[in-house]
Each structure stands twice: as C-alpha cells, then as structure tokens.
Structure 1
C-alpha cells in the first residue's frame, strides 16, 4: 500500500486536479468487492440459492451475472426471483454478461430487449458484452461495424436506464493494420454511452499496460475484472495477491480509469472454489480497497 505521506500527496493532487479535470477525476473508486458468477459456473446450476448464499458468506457485496436467457432465465429463477435472492443475501448485481452477437451481426433487437428487461429487473446498470464471435472481428471495417452496433445498443438500452460495456480478452489487441480492434472500439464508440470492463489479466497477458489505457482513455473503465496471473504458468489464473500482477499499483490509478466496480473472476481453481474466492476477497479488502 502507499505510505501515508504518498497517499496524502496524491489526494492533494487529485483534489486540486478535480477543479480543472473532467468528472472522472473526482469519481469515487470501488469500495466493495464483486464476483463474476461465471467463476462458479460448475456449482450454480445445481444449487443457485446455496451458491449465492456462499458468495455472500465469502465477503462479497456485488455479483456480476452471466448466462441469462428467456428460456432458462437466471438458473431457473425469474429476474424478480433472482433479485429477491440477491436482496436476501445483501447482494446487488450492478452488471451482467449478455451475449450480443446476434444483434451485432443482424440488428435483430429481440434478444437485446429481453436482456435489457432482465438487467433492469435485477437492478443492474450495465449490460456487458463478454465476447465476440470470430465473424464479428476481422479487419478494420468489421471492427468499426461492431463499434457502431455497440453505439446502437447503447441508444436502445438508455431508455431503460441501462448502459452498454465491453469486456476484453486478448484477441482485441492483435494488430489490425496500424491499430488494434480494441483501439477501434474505444475510438469509434460514444465515450458517454459505451464503457469498458477491463479484464486486467487479459490485458497484461496480451503484453499491454493497463495504466497506459487508463491514461489514453480516461474514465472509460468503470469496471475491472480482477484475476491474478499464475507465477509459473501465465496461461492460468491464481488467487488475487498470489500472482504476478501488482493490483495495488493499478488501484492507485482507479480515479484515472473511472473505476466503480472491482470484480473478481477466477477461471480455474487449484483449491476449493469457495476458499479461493474468499482468499481473493480477503486480500482485496485488506490490501487494496
């Protein structure tokens, strides 16, 4: 953690800068820990109520959903029922992952509108695009078309009080001419309407610097996926604080990024999953927030 002197110095600079900088400079960074429920994808379908209870017991205050569909809903629970379950456990769901490939490819709004309705019903602020199929990547023109569709989705969602955000992996950083798909998305989307959920692990694994992205695109990253990189095998995750990524340093740039929600995601486990998510939450609350 920063020393008290360094903290006070930084706080003074932020306070002074807020007089002349845009609103991201004075935005309050995340103060609670969230969990992307995909981390517990093997446990959830069999016992959604029990799993949500254990997430709360592990010290989480927020969750990020995934996998909603009109047919299966939230693991068999309607949005209203799932919201009640979250409320019972002192949890909120400010964001969720919803696939937008069909809308991006065809413009068909049916699934998008159903997702917006579900996200609104559980009290979410963000619908996050978790992934793009191969056909929606490609060359510069295709990335620009995808960016335009994100703008269109944001305009549709806005009337329901929902924002659109985009979650990265590493393929977005592959060269596209003199740029990358990620840079195209950042530059071609409306900064006020389309935000980004930075998966820090994938940014680092792709060889890029999260702080440079925060600096170049101030205030665009209200959500971070926090998962650490295993020291021995960079292709797998480890518990936050146990790997190679300096999250303390990154969090010192939270205001620059516009951070509001810090979300743990663990894609693989080398210990009991509930022990793992608790270890990450305990480290974040003790050492970072």
Structure 2
C-alpha cells in the first residue's frame, strides 16, 4: 500500500507473520522455543478497557522506544558534509539533533570524524558525548577496528561515549577454513574478556559471507587444505568456539536473508551436492541473548541481482520484521539499529538519507506485540 506521499508502506497481516520462514513454527515448537500464537488478538480501547473481542489483550511496541537506534553509516553523507545553506543537517551536532527529533534514542557509530571546516579542526569524542547527552541520545555500539594492538584505545573511546557494546562491521576472519576461525576465536575470547572487565560487550557484525559454508571435509588440495564441507556455516562454528560470556553478535537482518538466498548448497565429503536452507530466525532464537544488537535493514526481493534483494527503507520491503523480532523474543534486551547502505542520495537528493531515516523510524515504531 502507499501513503499520502506515494511511498510504499508495510501493513503486517496474520498471513505475513507466518510466511517468512517455511517450517519455522514446527521447528521452534519442537525445540521448546517461542512460537507465534495462532489466534487473532484484539485490541483494548484507548482507556485500556477490554472491548468485546479483546479478552484482556493489550498492544505494546515490539521494539521499545528506548531500544530504537540508527547506525550513522546510513547518514554518513550528512555527518561528513561541509556547512551549507540548504537547510539539511550536517555534522554531528545538527544530524544527531535531527535524529533525536525524529524519535531515535540510540546511536551506533561508524567513525568519529566530521568535516573539519565545521569547527576548524576535528571533533573529539568528548564533544560528541556532549551532543549525545544534550539530545537525550545513548551510544549503543560502534563499528571500529578490533585488533589487539589498538583495542585499549578503542575501549577508551567507547567509554568516553558511554557505550555498553564495542564491535566491528567486519567478520573475525574471511577464511573458509576451521583453523583460521579457531585462531580468531582465541583472539576474540581474549579481547572479549578484556572488554567485560571494563563493562563492555564485544560484538561482531555479519555480512552474508559469514554464513557461507566452511571447507572442513573431503580430499585435501595441494596445500593440504580440505576441499569439501561438512555443512557447517562459518559464523555458526564461531558461535560454538567463543565464550558466550565474552563474545556477542549483531545480526544484520538484510545480509542474513541474502545468505538464505545465496548460501544454500554445499558439496559434502563424498562429492555430493547437498541443500541446507539458512534460517535467520532459527539461528538467533536458540542463543537470543548473544545478540544484543541488530541491523534492521530491509530489502525487496529481486532474484535478478546477485544478492537477491535491493535495499530499501525499513518497512517498505519484503523482510518480515514482525515475525523476526516477535519470534526471537527478549524484546527488552534487543536493540534495533536502522541501516540502509544506499540511503545517501548524492548531489541530486542530498536530503534523502535523513528522509529515509524518518520513514524507517516510523515503520519501526509501528511494529507491535500483543500481551495479556
């Protein structure tokens, strides 16, 4: 359906709730995990009284307002913009004020720099923290470089900004071999332990390749490397090799559904092709408290493109966020950061990323859950 401005909007129906993950309800039920109710809930009236169909149900936001965030990569063009007279916000002070006005409560960082002409120098983390505080915003994480050489310095910045989570937009390793993921797990366990001592959670963010299959079986190549797969996915292997007290995850929901589209076959140890359909919900649900953060990034299905989806503002695409966030549960624990890599409109439409941030916040706020 379209709104009054001609923009496509999402309207979740009972049918929508069940269509995203084939067989998910049966598998979740068998595993003792939450399954969406089959009845059709009714609303209480404006005064909280039961209407004749309500049976005591009430409606609440699926993503609490305090947990609705944005990664600044989505509006990177306006953070980095030089001062102009267009009326479109630029730099941290103006952009963060506008995001708070839209309704966002949390900020995930993607760098700490703005155009130096704004202040005549680069802004400092302490100055950014004041802007956050002045606008009632909380830093919930960051995409920075995670390595032992600079980790203490990055934690210093995280603490200055008031973060509880520190992370990266890169995979722990790009390798397809278990030995490299084992080494990465050792490093991340050590760094995660150091982070916990300072009141931080260390997290890694996925793209689709992280849910590709390991090469861990079958004949060896000339370098002694395995050439086939047991069917184990890279990041799922990392789940088990890392300590749940020290290492956490941020699922990018868009890239998880791209992984479902792209990474569904592998060659087993005997040389036979096998099919294994990736399910983002069933990946999170058994370990839901290892995922404090999510990228709520939407997409329209498009099999003609390599990723199978085109990125669009949240709530205007085909990904069923209602089902996703309701089924994984723990809505008070999870923090949803809107992201759209393609949000900047360039010189032709310099205000596009801020406009998309507004549309996406509205659609995020309209996701609801029913409780007694």
Partner residue in 2 for 1:141 = 179
Partner residue in 1 for 2:356 = 276
Partner residue in 2 for 1:52 = 96
Relative to structure 1, the CA distance from residue 246 to residue 193 in structure 2 (aligned partners, 3 Å threshold; closer, same or farther) is same
Partner residue in 2 for 1:63 = 107
RMSD: 2.8
Q: Is the 8 A contact 1:237 1:268 kept in 2?
A: yes
Relative to structure 1, the CA distance from residue 4 to residue 31 in structure 2 (aligned partners, 3 Å threshold; closer, same or farther) is farther
In the TM superposition, what whole-angstrom CA distance separates every residue of 1:57-86 from its partner, at most 9, and x where no partner exists?
2221111001248xx9xx932221111011
Of structures 1 and 2, the larger Rg is shown by 2
Confirm whether residue 230 of structure 1 aligns to residue 304 of structure 2: no
Confirm whether residue 4 of structure 1 aligns to residue 50 of structure 2: no
Q: 2 CA distance for matches of 1:212 and 1:31?
A: 25
Q: 2 CA distance for matches of 1:169 and 1:258?
A: 25
Report the CA distance between 1:159 and its aligned residue.
1.9
Relative to structure 1, the CA distance from residue 259 to residue 200 in structure 2 (aligned partners, 3 Å threshold; closer, same or farther) is farther
In the TM superposition, what whole-angstrom CA distance separates every residue of 1:155-190 from its partner, at most 9, and x where no partner exists?
111221111011000111111032121111111111
**Could you list the runs of 5+ residues in structure 1 that have no partner in the other structure?**
12-27, 104-108
Question: Secondary structure of 1:224's match?
Answer: strand
**Which of 170, 182, 191 is the equivalent residue of 2:235?**
182
Relative to structure 1, the CA distance from residue 247 to residue 172 in structure 2 (aligned partners, 3 Å threshold; closer, same or farther) is same
Partner residue in 2 for 1:21 = none
Confirm whether residue 220 of structure 1 aligns to residue 293 of structure 2: no
**Which of 115, 133, 136 is the equivalent residue of 2:154?**
115
**Could you list the runs of 5+ residues in structure 2 that have no partner in the other structure?**
1-11, 15-39, 44-53, 82-90, 215-228, 261-277
Confirm whether residue 197 of structure 1 aligns to residue 243 of structure 2: no
Relative to structure 1, the CA distance from residue 137 to residue 288 in structure 2 (aligned partners, 3 Å threshold; closer, same or farther) is farther
Aligned length: 260
Report the CA distance between 1:260 and its aligned residue.
2.1
More helix by share: 1
TM superposition score normalised by structure 1: 0.81
Report the CA distance between 1:94 and its aligned residue.
1.5
Report the CA distance between 1:262 and its aligned residue.
0.8
Confirm whether residue 265 of structure 1 aligns to residue 302 of structure 2: no
Relative to structure 1, the CA distance from residue 110 to residue 257 in structure 2 (aligned partners, 3 Å threshold; closer, same or farther) is same
Relative to structure 1, the CA distance from residue 220 to residue 153 in structure 2 (aligned partners, 3 Å threshold; closer, same or farther) is same
